[in-house]
Amino acid sequence: MGYIEMEHSFKRYQVGESEIIANNDVSFTIEKGELVVILGASGAGKSTVLNILGGMDTNSSGKVVIDQQDISHYDRKQLTAYRRNDVGFVFQFYNLVANLTALENVELAVEIVEDASDPATVLTDVGLAHRMHNFPAQLSGGEQQRVAIARAVAKNPKILLCDEPTGALDYHTGKQVLQILQDMSRKNGTTVVIVTHNVALAPIADRVIHMHDAKVKAIETNSIPRDIAELEW
Ligand SMILES: Nc1ncnc2c1ncn2[C@@H]1O[C@H](COP(=O)(O)OP(=O)(O)OP(=O)(O)O)[C@@H](O)[C@H]1O
Ligand SMILES: [Mg+2]
C-alpha cells in the first residue's frame, strides 16, 4: 500500500438545482518521500484534491488514506488534530501574519505542535538566517514564500502540500523556491505535493498526476527527475 492513497474519490457540490462534480472518481498513490506534481488547467479539480488531502475539505465518497489512516471518516476533532500535526500547507500568496517577524511567524505555527523543529534552524535551512527579524513587508516575495515553507516544514509534517507555490513569483525566485521543495523531498524525506498549471514543472517530480475535467487523465513517474537548475520555461 502507498503512503498516500486516494481511491475512487468524488467531490460533489450542489449549486441550486444543478450538481457540480469537482473530483470525479479520482484515484492515485503516492510513496513516502516523493515529490509529486498535480498538473492541470484551471478548474480541473487540483485544489479540491489538495484540500481533501490536507483535511481542509472532505470528499463526498471514496477513500483518502494517509499513512494507513483513512481520513475520509474523520470527525471534526480528528481532522483538526490531523491538520495541526501532520500537514504543512504552502499557499500562492504566502499568508504570513503581517505584524509578526519571520521568526515569530514560524514560532506561532509550531506552538501548537508536539514534535516541531527549532524555528531559527529551519529558517536558516531555507537561507533566511539574516532575515529572521524582518517583518513580511520588508521581505521580497521569494523570501516571504521561503518563510511560509519554513513555517510549514518546522511542524515536521507527514505531507507538505503546496498550491501554486511559485504562482506569484518571478522566474528565478520561483526556481529557488522549487529547489527548496525538491530538497525537502530528496534530503529530508518529506512527501511533497505541488499543485500547478505550469507544465514546465513536470520533469522535476518523481510522479506527475495529470488532471482534466475533474478526473485523473494520466499518471507518469520520472525515474530520473530533472534538477531545477536545468529547468527552463
Ligand atoms: N465551494 C464550491 N462550490 C461549487 N463549486 C466549486 C466549489 N469549489 C470548487 N468548485 C468547482 O469545482 C471545480 C474544481 O475546482 P478547483 O478549485 O479544484 O480547480 P483547480 O484545478 O484548483 O483550478 P485553478 O487552477 O483555477 O485553481 C471548479 O469547476 C470549481 O468551480
Ligand atoms: Mg486551484
- Continuous H helices in the chain: 46-53, 76-86, 102-110, 119-125, 141-153, 171-188
What was the pLDDT predicted at 34?
A: 97
Q: Residue ranges per domain, the chain?
A: 32-60+74-230
| Ligand 1 proximity of 18 Cβ (cutoff 6 Å) | no
pLDDT for 178-215, tens place per residue? 999 999 999 889 999 999 999 999 999 999 999 999 99
CATH number, span 32-60+74-230:
3.40.50.300
Question: Could you tell me the pLDDT band of residue 114, with boundaries at 50, 70 and 90?
Answer: confident
| Ligand 1 proximity of 13 Cβ (cutoff 6 Å) | yes
Nearest CA, atom 13, ligand 1: 22
What was the pLDDT predicted at 124?
A: 94
Atom number, ligand 1, closest to the C-alpha of residue 11: 12
Q: Report CA(22)–ligand 1 centroid distance (Å).
A: 6
Helix (H/G/I), strand (E/B), else coil: 19: strand
Determine the residue of 18, 39, 46 to mutate for testing ligand 1's pocket, defined as the one with the most ligand atoms within 8 A of the Cβ atom: 46
Question: Could you tell me the pLDDT band of residue 230, with boundaries at 50, 70 and 90?
Answer: confident
Nearest CA, atom 17, ligand 1: 47
In the predicted structure, residue 233 carries a pLDDT above the cut 90 = no
Q: If you average pLDDT over residues 170-184, what whole number do you get?
A: 90
What was the pLDDT predicted at 78?
A: 97
The number of helix segments (H) and strand segments (E) in the chain equals 6, 10
Residue 68 corresponds to which cell in the numbers above?
494507513
What was the pLDDT predicted at 12?
A: 97
Q: Report CA(47)–ligand 2 centroid distance (Å).
A: 4
**How many CB atoms sit inside 10 A of residue 185's CB?**
23
| Ligand 1 proximity of 15 Cβ (cutoff 6 Å) | yes
What was the pLDDT predicted at 222?
A: 95
Mean pLDDT of the chain: 95
In the predicted structure, residue 145 carries a pLDDT above the cut 80 = yes
What was the pLDDT predicted at 51?
A: 97
What was the pLDDT predicted at 1?
A: 83
| Ligand 1 proximity of 22 Cβ (cutoff 6 Å) | yes
| Ligand 1 proximity of 40 Cβ (cutoff 6 Å) | yes
